[in-house]
Structure 1
Amino acid sequence: MTSTSTLQDPRVASALDRMFRQAEQDEAISRNIRTAWPEGFAPADPQEQADAKAEVYMPISARGGRLLYNLIRAVRPATVVEFGTSFGISTLHLAAAVRDNGTGRVISTELSAAKAAAARRTFAETGLDDLITVLEGDARDTLAGLDASADFVLLDGWKDLCLPVLRLLEPRLAPGTLVVADDVDLEDLAPYLDYVRDSRNGYESVTFPVEDGMEISCRL
């Protein structure tokens, strides 16, 4: 265990700085995508959406990343499960905390092959690749074979799939497990929020006001 944060490691800090700067181009890239898909993505399946948005970072915020780091340090989970690797910004925050805890691993999922490959390169460059497994493909398939309990969950993939992924993982959630979902302001996340905010479904949930909002739910 270290008394300093791996987030301050020059390799990690440099990678995060580079990716956050590249993510600043997301809006311009998204405009081009909307031009190519003028009717929206309603008729597209998740794979088609992932392929169309293969250059879009869609990152968590820097403050959101630090929140995740602090939560992982406090909870000390054995297995962190992330839905939605993208280029790996959030994954680096998770893995940095796992490294500093001195125990644990991160299992992340990504539908875009291009993003998964880029993320793996970044994880190797930062020296955190030994802690991270990227499951490439539809998370509803790849997480079905999870070989352990899910001790901390981050849901930041396609918002309309957050609830199905959570339901898939529920048998592996022990009481007290934290589940975090990003972007509470997005309409597609509404069914998920309705579910975790209803205590009859077994959660105590609170919205944390960081950037677009994070929903932090404790499994009861």
Structure 2
Amino acid sequence: MTSTPTHTLAAPQVGAAIDHLFEQAGRDDAVAARVSAELPGGFGHLSPQARADAAAEIYMPISAAGGELLYSLVRAVRPATVVEFGTSYGISTLYLAAAVRDNGSGRVVTTELSKEKIAAARRTFAEAGLDDLVTVLEGDARDTLGALDVPADFVLLDGWKDLCLPVLRLLEPRLRPGTLVVADDIDLSDLRPYLDYVRDPENGYRSVAFPVEDGMEISCRL
């Protein structure tokens, strides 16, 4: 007798999608090394779009533990609208959408620059049966999220780290008191201006570093 999954992450099609993406992401170091060798000046001098195009083969996933944390936070907060900066191939989006599904209401609005990644992510969301919960905005998040016409009830910032602060500042008028904002990879130097901002009480956040993989910063809008 086949048992019924107790939550969406346990559904076979969702688990298979996540496992496949993590397996593919296991090649990131080798792919990143090849791409870097093809870019003598590195990624830093490129525009966000050019960086996205150059990194189209790199999955840059959230960790499995980070995904589980996001799932639990969204289940607890029960946001109407989850906003994600940086879809990539959609690993973190799957965790967010699974939580929204299990909450019984809500949606995920996610942003991505790479057309290749957007196409692949949309296929994955459909195969996992979560595409009805996910809206993918194509383009620079500083443009696409400017048109967001509802409060951002939960925010994940996991795109280019030097853009996390500008995206947060763009979203601030749509953040209600109590809204959680999560940033991934806090060990990366490009995220330092963002961390300095959310850790300064004068800017209206209560912030804590959570020790999962490369670290996640969880900030509550006051």
Range class of TM-score, shorter chain: over 0.9
1:119 and 2:121 aligned: yes
Query: So what's the TM-score if we normalise by structure 1?
Result: 0.98
Runs of 4+ aligned residues of structure 1 deviating over 6 Å after TM superposition are none
- Give the distance between the partners of 2:195 and 2:102, measured in 1 at CA: 31
Spell out, residue by residue over 1:107-158, the C-alpha distance to the aligned partner (whole angstroms, 9 max, x if none): 0000000000100000000110000000000000000000210000000000
- Give the distance between the partners of 1:10 and 1:55, measured in 2 at CA: 26
Query: So what's the TM-score if we normalise by structure 2?
Result: 0.97
Q: How does 1:34-183 map to 2 (within 5 A)?
A: 34-183=36-185
**Alignment correspondent of 1:206:** 208
SS of 1:184 mapped into structure 2: coil
- Give the distance between the partners of 1:46 and 1:211, measured in 2 at CA: 25
- Give the aligned residue type for 2:195: L
* Structure 2: tracts of 5 or more residues without a match: none
- Give the aligned residue type for 2:100: V
**Alignment correspondent of 1:5:** 7
- Give the aligned residue type for 2:62: I
Aligned length: 219
Conservation of the 8 A alpha-carbon contact between 2:113 and 2:138: yes
Q: What RMSD in Å do the two structures reach over aligned CA positions?
A: 1.0
- Give the distance between the partners of 2:209 and 2:119, measured in 1 at CA: 33
- Give the distance between the partners of 2:150 and 2:52, measured in 1 at CA: 27
**Alignment correspondent of 2:18:** 16
Spell out, residue by residue over 1:47-79, the C-alpha distance to the aligned partner (whole angstroms, 9 max, x if none): 000000001000000000000000000000000
SS of 1:85 mapped into structure 2: coil
- Give the distance between the partners of 1:19 and 1:114, measured in 2 at CA: 15
Same amino acid, percent of matched pairs:
74
Measured after TM superposition, the shift of residue 3 of structure 1 is 8.3
**Alignment correspondent of 1:184:** 186
Measured after TM superposition, the shift of residue 43 of structure 1 is 2.0
- Give the aligned residue type for 2:207: S
Measured after TM superposition, the shift of residue 40 of structure 1 is 1.2
Which of 192, 196, 199 aligns to 2:198? It is 196
Measured after TM superposition, the shift of residue 39 of structure 1 is 1.6
* Structure 1: tracts of 5 or more residues without a match: none
